[in-house]
Amino acid sequence: MLTITQALVDQIVAHARKDHPDEACGVVAGPAGSDRPERFIPMLNAAMSPTFYEFDSGDLLRLYREMDDRDEEPVVVYHSHTATEAYPSRTDISYANEPAAHYVLVSTADTDGLGDFQFRSFRIVDGEVTEEEVRVVEAY
Protein backbone atom coordinates (compact mmCIF):
# COMPACT_ATOMS: atom_id res chain seq x y z
CA MET A 1 0.00 0.00 0.00
CA LEU A 2 1.14 3.52 -0.80
CA THR A 3 0.52 6.00 2.00
CA ILE A 4 0.92 9.55 0.72
CA THR A 5 -0.13 13.01 1.87
CA GLN A 6 -2.89 14.95 0.15
CA ALA A 7 -0.37 17.75 -0.46
CA LEU A 8 1.89 15.41 -2.45
CA VAL A 9 -1.05 14.01 -4.43
CA ASP A 10 -2.07 17.59 -5.26
CA GLN A 11 1.47 18.44 -6.41
CA ILE A 12 1.72 15.36 -8.63
CA VAL A 13 -1.71 16.02 -10.21
CA ALA A 14 -0.89 19.73 -10.70
CA HIS A 15 2.36 18.79 -12.46
CA ALA A 16 0.50 16.35 -14.73
CA ARG A 17 -2.07 19.00 -15.62
CA LYS A 18 0.59 21.68 -16.18
CA ASP A 19 2.64 19.55 -18.60
CA HIS A 20 -0.43 18.26 -20.50
CA PRO A 21 -0.55 17.49 -23.44
CA ASP A 22 2.96 16.10 -22.81
CA GLU A 23 3.56 13.45 -20.19
CA ALA A 24 4.86 14.75 -16.87
CA CYS A 25 7.34 12.82 -14.75
CA GLY A 26 9.13 13.06 -11.44
CA VAL A 27 10.11 11.48 -8.16
CA VAL A 28 9.04 11.79 -4.54
CA ALA A 29 12.03 11.02 -2.35
CA GLY A 30 11.96 9.87 1.24
CA PRO A 31 14.34 8.76 3.97
CA ALA A 32 16.13 5.57 2.96
CA GLY A 33 14.27 2.50 4.19
CA SER A 34 11.21 4.45 5.38
CA ASP A 35 8.77 3.88 2.46
CA ARG A 36 7.56 7.42 3.30
CA PRO A 37 7.32 9.85 0.37
CA GLU A 38 8.29 13.34 1.52
CA ARG A 39 10.18 15.49 -1.00
CA PHE A 40 8.44 16.29 -4.30
CA ILE A 41 10.88 16.52 -7.21
CA PRO A 42 9.26 17.34 -10.56
CA MET A 43 11.51 16.42 -13.48
CA LEU A 44 11.66 17.53 -17.09
CA ASN A 45 10.33 15.05 -19.62
CA ALA A 46 13.34 15.06 -21.95
CA ALA A 47 11.21 13.35 -24.64
CA MET A 48 8.67 16.22 -24.53
CA SER A 49 6.09 13.77 -25.82
CA PRO A 50 2.37 13.12 -25.21
CA THR A 51 2.96 9.35 -25.41
CA PHE A 52 6.35 8.79 -23.78
CA TYR A 53 8.44 10.09 -20.92
CA GLU A 54 12.16 10.03 -20.38
CA PHE A 55 14.19 11.49 -17.54
CA ASP A 56 17.12 13.59 -18.72
CA SER A 57 20.21 11.49 -17.93
CA GLY A 58 22.13 14.43 -16.46
CA ASP A 59 19.19 15.48 -14.28
CA LEU A 60 18.74 11.88 -13.13
CA LEU A 61 22.41 11.53 -12.20
CA ARG A 62 22.27 14.79 -10.20
CA LEU A 63 19.07 13.63 -8.48
CA TYR A 64 20.58 10.29 -7.42
CA ARG A 65 23.71 12.01 -6.11
CA GLU A 66 21.57 14.48 -4.16
CA MET A 67 19.38 11.70 -2.72
CA ASP A 68 22.51 9.78 -1.77
CA ASP A 69 23.93 12.85 0.01
CA ARG A 70 20.64 13.27 1.91
CA ASP A 71 20.28 9.53 2.74
CA GLU A 72 17.12 9.38 0.64
CA GLU A 73 15.74 7.03 -1.97
CA PRO A 74 13.04 7.29 -4.63
CA VAL A 75 9.87 6.21 -2.82
CA VAL A 76 7.54 7.23 -5.65
CA VAL A 77 8.36 7.42 -9.35
CA TYR A 78 5.49 9.11 -11.14
CA HIS A 79 4.42 10.04 -14.62
CA SER A 80 1.25 10.88 -16.48
CA HIS A 81 -0.64 9.37 -19.36
CA THR A 82 -2.39 11.99 -21.46
CA ALA A 83 -4.80 9.90 -23.54
CA THR A 84 -4.97 6.50 -21.86
CA GLU A 85 -5.82 5.06 -18.48
CA ALA A 86 -3.38 5.20 -15.57
CA TYR A 87 -1.84 1.77 -16.13
CA PRO A 88 1.79 0.96 -16.96
CA SER A 89 2.54 0.50 -20.64
CA ARG A 90 5.02 -2.09 -21.91
CA THR A 91 7.60 0.70 -22.15
CA ASP A 92 6.87 1.83 -18.57
CA ILE A 93 7.35 -1.75 -17.36
CA SER A 94 10.64 -2.15 -19.23
CA TYR A 95 12.01 1.07 -17.67
CA ALA A 96 10.91 0.25 -14.11
CA ASN A 97 14.25 -0.32 -12.39
CA GLU A 98 13.43 0.58 -8.77
CA PRO A 99 11.87 -2.57 -7.27
CA ALA A 100 11.19 -0.87 -3.91
CA ALA A 101 9.46 2.16 -5.47
CA HIS A 102 5.77 2.85 -5.89
CA TYR A 103 5.07 3.64 -9.54
CA VAL A 104 2.32 6.25 -9.61
CA LEU A 105 0.45 6.96 -12.81
CA VAL A 106 -1.86 9.90 -13.29
CA SER A 107 -4.12 10.00 -16.31
CA THR A 108 -5.13 13.43 -17.53
CA ALA A 109 -7.73 11.82 -19.83
CA ASP A 110 -11.21 10.94 -18.63
CA THR A 111 -10.98 7.27 -19.57
CA ASP A 112 -13.42 5.92 -17.00
CA GLY A 113 -16.11 8.61 -16.80
CA LEU A 114 -15.16 9.35 -13.19
CA GLY A 115 -13.47 12.70 -13.79
CA ASP A 116 -10.54 14.28 -15.51
CA PHE A 117 -7.81 12.25 -13.83
CA GLN A 118 -6.99 8.90 -12.30
CA PHE A 119 -4.32 8.48 -9.60
CA ARG A 120 -3.13 4.88 -9.27
CA SER A 121 -0.09 3.17 -7.78
CA PHE A 122 1.71 0.00 -8.83
CA ARG A 123 4.65 -2.13 -7.82
CA ILE A 124 6.70 -3.27 -10.80
CA VAL A 125 9.23 -6.01 -10.03
CA ASP A 126 10.92 -8.11 -12.70
CA GLY A 127 8.30 -7.08 -15.26
CA GLU A 128 5.40 -8.07 -12.98
CA VAL A 129 2.82 -5.32 -12.38
CA THR A 130 0.73 -5.31 -9.19
CA GLU A 131 -1.72 -2.53 -8.44
CA GLU A 132 -1.79 -1.42 -4.83
CA GLU A 133 -4.13 0.56 -2.65
CA VAL A 134 -3.45 4.27 -2.21
CA ARG A 135 -4.15 5.74 1.22
CA VAL A 136 -4.20 9.54 1.23
CA VAL A 137 -3.55 11.18 4.59
CA GLU A 138 -3.30 14.78 5.78
CA ALA A 139 0.04 14.16 7.52
CA TYR A 140 2.29 11.30 8.62
Mean pLDDT by 10 residues, the chain (140 residues): 98 94 97 98 95 93 97 98 92 93 91 73 97 97
Q: What is the side-by-side strand order in the sheet with 128-132?
A: 39-43, 25-31, 72-81, 102-107, 118-125, 128-132
Number of domains in the chain: 1
**Would you state the pLDDT for residue 111?**
61
pTM of the model: 0.94
What would the pLDDT profile of 47-68 be if each residue is shown by its tens digit?
Answer: 999 999 999 999 999 999 999 9
Domain span including residue 62: 2-137
What is the C-alpha separation between 26 and 115, in angstroms, rounded? 23
* Residue 30's CATH number: 3.40.140.10
